Chains A and B, each alone.
Chain A
């Protein structure tokens, strides 16, 4: 039932390993479908090409959203949860048979919803705001997928219980498993919200319920929608700590701080979903301000805490290794040739500087007025869930290929460049979209010239330049993703087998020597970087509030 890994020493339940592999494979299949659609979409919104007609454009926006945000991420996270519980805690999988049922449900859901979308019966966008109505099988597919995922999460908790009872990991759960556990707890809340909204909507699509109030729908849907992003953040940050450990032997400089930050995520994110309703009628300003500040900011605070704790884990380890000169030698002499390392550092930078800053500012009640439903919104979330979560998942896969699939990475030289290509591509795409949105360009919109309408509108001529940036960024990101997928597929199916530590192309770092206790600042380089982040944030903050003040008066 077990093999003892000859590289890391962890005990691996072979039944769990098989489940991890299959879920990971379907994650990659979902990603491939998502990015092919993304390329067609970017060539359509780039109007000099305008590749797809209106019908297929709107259809593929729904298709892309579902496969990228839901299927790719959640299949990968289920694989991650199984890894985080059985492998990291050296324990057995509580019920592999149930795991396979969960997998079957998720696959069935994926196939059902995707086929219905491609048949043209669910042109409703991922958000499917009522009264837009899709074919019942669209909703049923998502429900099946969610039930499968929920079962997977419950199995994760089952594994944790067994590990604790059989004392397979010492006194305290390792930080990475702890982080994944918070992700799993949020997942339960999220999937419950999902059931609460999708089941009535499914019944409505069948004609069994007369009406689903659109304002109520949007409120509850975002209880699912935004909380699922917090699962992604918790999982992503856990993998950041894991990568620090694997690449430089780093660990959180204060476990209490990191663990508390994870707990903050659980406590506050559901309320924070309010930031999707800031310019909606029906809810009062007091409700909006309270939920987006008290609630969201405590979740934001958690991210800011990790923003220091994660890089400092790298810095402190590197300083112990001897890279102590000046403020940044620890970073300059870090293992940049390790694609997992570069992916994670780039993800941290992208998530913080692009996604995080815009997220906080766009999520303030009043500044939301100048960005709601513009293309700045997808620009923001490509700066979080794509440049953050997706790049992180891509990075850690470079370790999972040899460790779980036991294959060498085919095209390693290319793999070393891939995170950079992806980062630059998504940064261009994201920043391009954010600027376009600030210039008023709408999201989910097929024609910038409004042909067929009674009037037309000419956007600020600067949009032409930023459309080019967006388009080129999208193409580069697509190529980088394709490269990653090809590396993964070739390695997993045809790569040379890994027979021991000598076959590892990525080093697994030993623990650094114990340093002398540091007087003063433990991670001065990280502190400088966080201050730099603060400066960028403040600049964007004042810029946006100035732009708001220049609009018409409204109250």
Chain B
């Protein structure tokens, strides 16, 4: 008996009819569920995919940025919006703490989402549809989505990724007809992406092109998250009238004053912790990967915001 040695002959005791019946039913249920999952792969329309590519955080971030540059038709609250062609590849980047780009999709068309992270593990939670997948750094997860309804959808991050986790939310709009764009406020966007400004050695860019590219970077690299362009103070100094301004800063604990010029902007991007503007000691600017050319473009943009 449970706390005592079992009765002699316990091994040969016949199994009672009802226990046997239940075990057979349970076994059939288990096998049925196994078969069900396999059949769903054949006949069902929702299956996690088996397509993953090994990548790196830098490589995927670059892919995503290039994709956005090539396909951007507008901005929504600081997030670039793209309008992918049906059956094309869309690169969705998850990073602390945003999803980019936002998308305009067409109902009943398929899109190959490539989803990866720039830093930590994130969660892809499409709401209110409620489809949930895991996003990794270093792994490009390819999922072919076909929206079956129109409307406004959000991508919520549901894998803890730091203190800003609950501010991480992306957007997808699904339409059937062009007129529907108006209800989402997207009707003013470009119909097709702007032509790409080719950057090459022998053809120098005009001032206007530099400013346009700079503004693209402002949104792509995430500066928009903390630096405003209208004078309002978010988490960092506003860029309005910033170029040429005398700024009070702290360097190694000592106060001093600098003039905001090309060199200062370059240093602030490459070594953000070196000189900190007084009043913003508590917000850390993350180091941002930018080429020299990109820094020049951002500087041109900053200069243009009087």
Is the pair B167, A452 in contact by a Cβ cutoff of 8 Å? Answer: yes
Given A301-B26, A372-B133; A173-B5 close (CB under 8 Å): yes
B18 touches which of A282, A285, A371, A524 (Cβ 8 Å): A524
Q: Which one of A135-143, A420-428, A491-499, A526-534 is at the interface?
A: A526-534
Q: Is B282 an interface residue (CB 8 A)?
A: no
- The interface bits of chain B over 54-75 (1 if a CB of A lies within 8 angstroms of the residue's CB, else 0) are 0000000000000000000000
Measured between beta carbons, the chain B residues less than 8 angstroms from A326 are none
Measured between beta carbons, the chain B residues less than 8 angstroms from A169 are 5
Q: Is A267 an interface residue (CB 8 A)?
A: no
Do most interface residues of chain A lie in helix, strand or loop, or is the interface mixed? loop
Measured between beta carbons, the chain A residues less than 8 angstroms from B1 are 174-175, 245, 249, 251, 511
Measured between beta carbons, the chain A residues less than 8 angstroms from B123 are 372-373, 442
Is the pair B125, A285 in contact by a Cβ cutoff of 8 Å? Answer: no
Given A285-B48, A555-B47, A555-B144; A442-B130 close (CB under 8 Å): no
Q: Is A548 an interface residue (CB 8 A)?
A: yes
Could you tell me which residues of chain A, from 145 to 187, have a CB within 8 Å of some CB in chain B? 169-176
A365 to B134, CA, bound (A): 14
Is the pair A369, B6 in contact by a Cβ cutoff of 8 Å? Answer: no
Given A373-B125, A460-B128; A172-B3 close (CB under 8 Å): no
- The interface bits of chain A over 276-310 (1 if a CB of B lies within 8 angstroms of the residue's CB, else 0) are 01111110111011001110011011001100110
Is the pair B156, A442 in contact by a Cβ cutoff of 8 Å? Answer: yes
Could you tell me which residues of chain A, from 430 to 470, have a CB within 8 Å of some CB in chain B? 438-440, 442-447, 450-457, 459-460
A298 to B132, CA, bound (A): 27
Q: Which interface residue of A455, A459, A526 has the most chain B CB atoms within 10 A? A: A455
Given A253-B16, A442-B125, A455-B77; A58-B163 close (CB under 8 Å): yes
- The interface bits of chain B over 18-62 (1 if a CB of A lies within 8 angstroms of the residue's CB, else 0) are 110111011101110110111011001111111010000000000
B132 touches which of A305, A308, A370 (Cβ 8 Å): A370
Given A131-B120, A455-B77; A554-B49 close (CB under 8 Å): yes
Closest A-chain residue to B140, C-beta based? A281
Is the pair A304, B26 in contact by a Cβ cutoff of 8 Å? Answer: yes
A305 to B29, CA, bound (A): 13
Could you tell me which residues of chain B, from 151 to 169, have a CB within 8 Å of some CB in chain A? 154, 156-169
B130 touches which of A129, A285, A551 (Cβ 8 Å): A551
Q: Interface residues of B toward A: which range?
A: 35 or more
Q: Which one of A191-199, A254-262, A329-337, A474-482 is at the interface?
A: A254-262
Could you tell me which residues of chain B, from 139 to 181, have a CB within 8 Å of some CB in chain A? 139-141, 143-149, 154, 156-171
Closest B-chain residue to A177, C-beta based? B3
Q: Which one of B7-15, B188-196, B271-279 is at the interface?
A: B7-15
Closest A-chain residue to B30, C-beta based? A297
Measured between beta carbons, the chain A residues less than 8 angstroms from B138 are 213-215
Is the pair A288, B171 in contact by a Cβ cutoff of 8 Å? Answer: no
Q: How far is the CB of A288 from chain B (nearest CB, A)?
A: 7
B33 touches which of A245, A293, A309 (Cβ 8 Å): A293
Is the pair A281, B5 in contact by a Cβ cutoff of 8 Å? Answer: no
Q: How far is the CB of A246 from chain B (nearest CB, A)?
A: 8
Is the pair A366, B47 in contact by a Cβ cutoff of 8 Å? Answer: yes
A124 to B121, CA, bound (A): 11
Closest A-chain residue to B142, C-beta based? A281
Is the pair A125, B136 in contact by a Cβ cutoff of 8 Å? Answer: no
B146 touches which of A172, A450, A451, A552 (Cβ 8 Å): A552
Given A88-B3, A281-B141, A552-B148; A521-B50 close (CB under 8 Å): no
B133 touches which of A88, A131, A279, A360 (Cβ 8 Å): A279
Closest A-chain residue to B14, C-beta based? A254
Q: Is B213 an interface residue (CB 8 A)?
A: no
Is the pair B163, A554 in contact by a Cβ cutoff of 8 Å? Answer: no
Given A58-B163, A364-B37, A456-B169; A172-B10 close (CB under 8 Å): yes
Q: Is A520 an interface residue (CB 8 A)?
A: yes
A23 to B171, CA, bound (A): 51
Given A308-B22, A555-B144; A443-B5 close (CB under 8 Å): no
Q: Is A201 an interface residue (CB 8 A)?
A: no
Measured between beta carbons, the chain B residues less than 8 angstroms from A242 are 2-3
Is the pair A282, B5 in contact by a Cβ cutoff of 8 Å? Answer: no
A527 to B49, CA, bound (A): 40
Measured between beta carbons, the chain A residues less than 8 angstroms from B147 are 552
User: Interface residue count for A (Cβ, 8 Å)?
Assistant: 111
A171 to B3, CA, bound (A): 13
A250 to B48, CA, bound (A): 46
Is the pair A454, B76 in contact by a Cβ cutoff of 8 Å? Answer: yes
Q: How far is the CB of A109 from chain B (nearest CB, A)?
A: 23
Measured between beta carbons, the chain B residues less than 8 angstroms from A548 are 44, 46
Q: How far is the CB of B222 from chain A (nearest CB, A)?
A: 11
Given A213-B138, A282-B52; A369-B133 close (CB under 8 Å): yes
Q: Is A549 an interface residue (CB 8 A)?
A: yes
Q: Is B182 an interface residue (CB 8 A)?
A: no
Closest B-chain residue to A443, C-beta based? B158
A253 to B132, CA, bound (A): 44
Q: Which interface residue of A88, A214, A373 has the most chain B CB atoms within 10 A? A: A373
Q: Is A523 an interface residue (CB 8 A)?
A: yes
Is the pair A171, B23 in contact by a Cβ cutoff of 8 Å? Answer: no
Q: How far is the CB of A442 from chain B (nearest CB, A)?
A: 4
Q: Which interface residue of B30, B78, B79 has the most chain A CB atoms within 10 A? A: B30
Is the pair A551, B18 in contact by a Cβ cutoff of 8 Å? Answer: no
Closest A-chain residue to B146, C-beta based? A553
Q: Is A86 an interface residue (CB 8 A)?
A: no
Is the pair A241, B2 in contact by a Cβ cutoff of 8 Å? Answer: yes
A438 to B157, CA, bound (A): 16
Given A255-B11, A297-B30; A365-B160 close (CB under 8 Å): no
Given A215-B139, A245-B3, A365-B37; A552-B166 close (CB under 8 Å): no
Is the pair B18, A455 in contact by a Cβ cutoff of 8 Å? Answer: no
Q: Which residues in B have some Cβ–Cβ distance to A below 8 Å? A: 1-6, 8, 10-11, 13, 15-19, 21-23, 25-27, 29-31, 33-34, 36-38, 40-41, 44-50, 52, 76-79, 97-98, 110, 119-121, 123, 125-134, 136-141, 143-149, 154, 156-171
10 A-B pairs with C-beta separation under 8 A: A129-B121, A285-B48, A289-B41, A301-B30, A360-B33, A369-B132, A373-B125, A373-B158, A453-B169, A454-B171
Q: Which residues in A have some Cβ–Cβ distance to B below 8 Å? A: 54-55, 58, 61, 88, 123-125, 129-132, 169-176, 213-215, 218, 241-242, 244-246, 249-257, 277-282, 284-286, 288-289, 292-294, 297-298, 300-301, 304-305, 308-309, 312-313, 360, 364-366, 368-374, 438-440, 442-447, 450-457, 459-460, 511, 518, 520-524, 526-527, 530, 534, 547-549, 551-555
7 A-B pairs with the lowest CB-CB distances in the bound complex, closest first: A170-B5, A442-B158, A281-B141, A293-B34, A297-B30, A452-B167, A281-B52
Given A454-B169, A554-B48, 19 more pairs with CB closer than 8 A? A129-B121, A131-B137, A173-B5, A253-B16, A255-B11, A278-B48, A308-B18, A312-B19, A360-B33, A366-B40, A373-B134, A444-B165, A457-B169, A548-B44, A551-B130, A552-B147, A552-B148, A553-B146, A554-B145
